Amino acid sequence: MTVTDSPAGSPLEVLERVFGYDAFRGDQAEIIDTVVGGGDALVLMPTGGGKSLCYQVPSLVREGTGVVISPLIALMQDQVDALDALGVRAGFLNSTQTTDERRAVERAYVAGELDLLYLAPERLAVAETLRLLDAGRIALFAIDEAHCVSAWGHDFRPDYLNLTVLGQRWPGVPRVALTATATRETAEEIVHRLGLAEARQFVASFDRPNIEYRIVAKDNPRQQLLDLLRSEHAGDAGIVYCLSRKSVEETAAHLSKHGIPALPYHAGLPAQQRAEHQSRFLREPSLVMVATIAFGMGIDKPDVRFVAHLDLPKSVEGYYQETGRAGRDGLPATAWLAYGLADVVQQRRMINTSDGDAAHRRRLGAHLDAMLALCETVQCRRVQLLAYFGQQGEPCGNCDTCTAPPQTWDGTIAAQKLLSAVVRLAQRRQRYGAGHVVDILLGNATARVVELDHTSLTVFGVGTELSAGEWRGVVRQLLAQGLLAVGADGYGTLELTEASTVVLRGEREVHLRTEPKRTTRSRNERRA
């Protein structure tokens, strides 16, 4: 007997009978009551919080079919199979199907034989789909990954703009929009673009207490990664994110060579290989997936023990979403990021040379600034992260700044020396990258320094109190604090900002983080 042959019963009865759970979590019960009662809802809940039940249960309780809009085409088959196994009648419509397969799903929908129908957003641009939906009975609309409607967000999908049709064409059908990544701006944009002003908003805590956040200075990243995996995550499943496809492949090969089973995943690999790597990752208990951010959305693997970033994420939202794939089972997990000066320079360059208008570039710049502020913070990472999502928290005791509070030092004079060097070069109508400027400060008479007559600059050799590595740390932090900028020329040259002049005039102090020496701890130490 399937669910709808019997009166479905109350949400709690459905939860027990169909899903085999005995209680709702967090806001689930209230969200479900809202939607069952015909109201709209906006649900902001972190990954693993249990968003799916918020529309699956109401779809079973209400008469008709719950229509779920999801961009995760590659996962629709899995989702439908999982529901099938529970005796829930589900189908999907997307571009990967044959005409016959599509027809069969359409027939089942019109005949009222589906509890849930998953739709790719681009389907809604087709008049035929709208007529099809009219021919059946819609219990509710669920808009999954709702942040994709936001141009401000980091994962904009133009197809999501089609979703305004839902409220306009079917005003009586309740809508529930769900996302795991929403700043206040994104939430406001979802409300605005989807016409959800009347929707009740449910904002769960974004804290993931079992995830330990650590951000370290990048030195020899592959070795640092290897140290981390060997000392703390031997035999664990995890994800390593890299920016480029090339570095994905090289890093996967590097780990494999050193005895850590690892597979690459990026959009340039054949679809079949991607699918195979993904399914091996889901099945096997101790595989490391080395991937670009093309990997991970909607991946439900509870025992991912670490997420490591070898390159700086472009935004805090992206960082939060990617690290959120660790520890969905609630057990301790590590979010580890190595970042360095080159990351900042490279990302500024990418922003400066990106397509799109000035407003778009400003937005990307603001995203990067927030990410850098998280990297350079001297307060609890979790407090800073939650504050970004408009939530408050107490110092957590489970992040690197809590367990090994960073020392700060008065870097005002160092900053003035560095900025003066940039000024002196600018007076000669010259601009150079960090490496050359640091050579000048250290008094390194390299061939280039000599050839350019930079030994005659008054700042030549004035900075021998710091090492080259420490100077690079100063540059990185000044960039992060907006006291220095990377030029738009694409060569990573340094230039002043308005705020730099305040430092040069001695009207502002500069506090810098002391770089911690150790980046990983041994397993025993952690357990102690």
Identified binder of ligand ADP from the candidate list 11, 28, 317, 474, rule CB under 6 A: 28
CA distance 82 to 428: 67
Closest residue by Cα to residue 192 from 225, 149, 221: 149
- Using the contact rule CB under 6 A, the part of the chain among 51-59, 357-365, 378-386, 513-521 near ligand ADP is 51-59
36 binds, among Zn ion, ligand ADP, none (CB under 5 to 8 A by kind): none
24 binds, among Zn ion, ligand ADP, none (CB under 5 to 8 A by kind): ligand ADP
Nearer to ligand ADP, 237 or 260 (CB): 237
CA distance 467 to 340: 16
Other Cβ atoms within 10 Å of 334 Cβ, number: 22
CA distance 429 to 431: 7
C-alpha distances (whole Å) from 2 to each of 60, 83, 114, 115 are 11, 12, 11, 10
399 binds, among ligand ADP, Zn ion, none (CB under 5 to 8 A by kind): Zn ion
CA distance 492 to 481: 17
What string marks each residue from 368 to 387 as x (binds Zn ion by CB under 5 A) or -?
------------x-x-----
Tokens for 522, please give them: 């041994």
Question: Taking CB under 6 A as the rule, does residue 49 contact ligand ADP?
Answer: yes
| CB 172 to ligand ADP: min, Å | 26
Question: Taking CB under 6 A as the rule, does residue 52 contact ligand ADP?
Answer: yes
Whats the size of the chain, residue-wise? Answer: 528
Closest residue by Cα to residue 192 from 169, 160, 170: 160
Question: Taking CB under 6 A as the rule, does residue 21 contact ligand ADP?
Answer: yes
For ligand ADP (CB under 6 A), the number of binding residues is 13
Identified binder of Zn ion from the candidate list 83, 148, 399, 484, rule CB under 5 A: 399
The residue nearest ligand ADP at its CB is: 50
Identified binder of ligand ADP from the candidate list 9, 39, 50, 112, rule CB under 6 A: 50
Burial status of residue 157 (CB atoms within 10 A of its CB: 0-12, 13-18, 19 or more): middle
Question: Taking CB under 6 A as the rule, does residue 25 contact ligand ADP?
Answer: yes
| CB 45 to ligand ADP: min, Å | 5
Residues between 248 and 307 with contacts to ligand ADP, criterion CB under 6 A: 300
Helix (H, G, I), strand (E, B) or coil at 393: coil
φ and ψ of 66, to 5 deg: -80, 125
Helix (H, G, I), strand (E, B) or coil at 222: helix
Identified binder of ligand ADP from the candidate list 3, 8, 44, 53, rule CB under 6 A: 53
Decide if 240 contacts 288 (C-beta within 8 A): yes
Nearer to ligand ADP, 243 or 385 (CB): 385
Identified binder of ligand ADP from the candidate list 27, 31, 40, 51, rule CB under 6 A: 51
Question: Taking CB under 5 A as the rule, does residue 396 contact Zn ion?
Answer: yes
CA terminus-to-terminus distance, the chain: 53
Question: Taking CB under 6 A as the rule, does residue 398 contact ligand ADP?
Answer: no
CA distance 94 to 121: 9
Identified binder of ligand ADP from the candidate list 10, 12, 16, 48, rule CB under 6 A: 48
What residues line the site for ligand ADP (CB under 6 A)?
Answer: 21, 24-25, 28, 45, 47-53, 300
